[in-house]
Homo-oligomer: A and B are copies of this chain.
Amino acid sequence: MTVPAQIDLARQLASRLERLSVDSVWAHRASGVRGALLRWLDNQAGNTTPTDDELEQLERLVSRAFEILTRAAREIRETKMSEQAIQDYYPDNVSYCYGCGRLNEKGLQIKSYWAGDEAVCIYQPRPEHIAIPGYVYGGLIASLIDCHCTGAAAAASYQAAGRPMDSLPAFRYVTASLKVDYLKPTPLGVPLELRARVVEIKGRKVVLQATLAAEGEIRARGEVVTVQAPPEMFGE
């Protein structure tokens, strides 16, 4: 990242940290990191060539800011949903998916929670998930909608069958088609909130609609057609 881009990111993070609710247990730490970021920016005012030491300090502050925002996002989730994530019911052999597998160390490891009639997922993009500076990469948005919807399709099926999510035979869905409308740019540095619900069931096919919001505004809408996969496809 260029120095001006790093400085721009630091400014944005300072502003996101400010918006953390005072009720959050992270509010105090957020305020500390925000202060440090603002001091760094003040010291650099007008200076476009920070030293290596100064850049290293900035990187530490940026990492810390992302960590606080991620943890605060988890906290939001935990106050709303109490159950285990849908993906945490998947057995090991189907848990390597880049988007939602808890065993894929380099993957996104999204967690979707079923809330009776919709699935909710909070995801904090990584700094590299950038499109143009300041905004989230559209391919990431498509990936999140995809995995969140296949998880929601499974959860809805278990609910319709009146069975717990770890009961057999398992409901596993694969994506037949994915459509994403990008309504407005999605800011990078804040948690994203995904919601998905089933809109149609036709035999083995489940159609879902999803929204992706940031800072309370819907940024993208998705429609996903999932198909129930035969158990042998998953080695089950």
Select from chain B the residue with minimum beta-carbon distance to A142: B142
A213 at the interface (CB under 8 A from B): no
Q: Mark A104-148, 1 if CB is under 8 A from B, else 0.
A: 111100000000000000000010111111000111101110110
Copies of this chain, tallied across the complex: 2
Q: Within the assembled complex, what's the spacing in Å between the Cα atoms of A137 and B100?
A: 10
> Contact at B132–A233, with CB atoms within 8 Å?
yes
Q: Within the assembled complex, what's the spacing in Å between the Cα atoms of A201 and B233?
A: 41
> Contact at B2–A137, with CB atoms within 8 Å?
no
A179: contacting residue among B93, B96, B179, CB under 8 A: B179
Q: Give the contacts of A212-236 with B (CB-CB under 8 A).
A: 233-235
Q: Which chain B positions have C-beta within 8 A of A1?
A: 96, 103
Minimum Cβ distance to chain B for residue A64 (Å) = 19
A residues near B (Cβ < 8 Å) are 1-2, 5, 92-94, 96-99, 101, 103-107, 126, 128-133, 137-140, 142-144, 146-147, 174-182, 233-235
Select from chain B the residue with minimum beta-carbon distance to A108: B139
Q: Within the assembled complex, what's the spacing in Å between the Cα atoms of A104 and B132?
A: 11
Q: Which chain B positions have C-beta within 8 A of A234?
A: 132
Q: Within the assembled complex, what's the spacing in Å between the Cα atoms of A174 and B182?
A: 9
A-B contact pairs, 27 of them (CB 8 A): A1-B96, A2-B92, A2-B93, A5-B96, A93-B132, A96-B132, A96-B133, A97-B130, A97-B131, A98-B128, A98-B129, A98-B137, A98-B140, A104-B130, A132-B234, A133-B235, A138-B146, A138-B175, A139-B144, A139-B146, A140-B143, A142-B142, A175-B182, A176-B182, A177-B179, A177-B180, A178-B180
> Contact at B138–A93, with CB atoms within 8 Å?
no
Q: Within the assembled complex, what's the spacing in Å between the Cα atoms of A235 and B132?
A: 10
Q: Which chain B positions have C-beta within 8 A of A139?
A: 98-99, 139, 142-144, 146-147
Q: Within the assembled complex, what's the spacing in Å between the Cα atoms of A126 and B147?
A: 19
Q: Which chain B positions have C-beta within 8 A of A233?
A: 132
Q: Which chain B positions have C-beta within 8 A of A132?
A: 93-94, 96-97, 233-234
Q: Which chain B positions have C-beta within 8 A of A133?
A: 93, 96, 235
Select from chain B the residue with minimum beta-carbon distance to A131: B97
Q: Within the assembled complex, what's the spacing in Å between the Cα atoms of A147 and B103?
A: 27
Q: Within the assembled complex, what's the spacing in Å between the Cα atoms of A99 and B139?
A: 7
